[in-house]
Structure 1
Amino acid sequence: MSESTDPATLAPGGFVRNPNCPEWGLGRVQSVVGSRVTVNFEEVGKVVLDLAAASLETVEPDR
């Protein structure tokens, strides 16, 4: 279910979760610029994360 959080593995439109903040819910990647990723999470809205300091798990959305 989880994959590397190497920015090269993330693409706009992909779905992720932050394992350190599960209460944020499912997130959809908006943009990837270098190691910075902008994600729109269900419960907290838009968050910009630096993958040097944060990890994400790529997931398939529950449909």
Structure 2
Amino acid sequence: MGMGSLLEPGMLVRHPEKPDWGLGQVQSNIGGKITVNFEHAGKQVILSDLVDLMPVFEPPHSTRRN
């Protein structure tokens, strides 16, 4: 079992096989179907049985403070 069941709306993720899609935000996670809005690919439905999305925990660079 992968990380898919732990992903919740609002979490940031990356698709391990589609780095060009950029950062994505989880919209929903229902029955193994994870809807993610990616910055360069738009809204995609990912099957958690087939793809282990990678959670992103670091803040975006634009929000860093010195």
Query: TM (normalized to structure 1)?
Result: 0.85
Cα separation, 1, equivalents of 2:22 and 2:31: 24
Between structure 1 and structure 2, the one with the greater Rg is 2
Q: Which has the higher contact order (CA 8 A, sep 6+)?
A: 1
Ranges in structure 1 where 5+ consecutive residues have no aligned partner? none
Corresponding pairs, count: 59
Q: Which runs of at least 4 in structure 1 moved beyond 6 Å after TM superposition?
A: none
In structure 2, the gaps of 5 or more residues are none
Give the fraction of aligned pairs with identical amino acids, expressed as a percent.
44
Q: Which moved more, 1:53-62 or 1:39-48?
A: 53-62
Q: Provide the aligned C-alpha RMSD in A.
A: 1.2
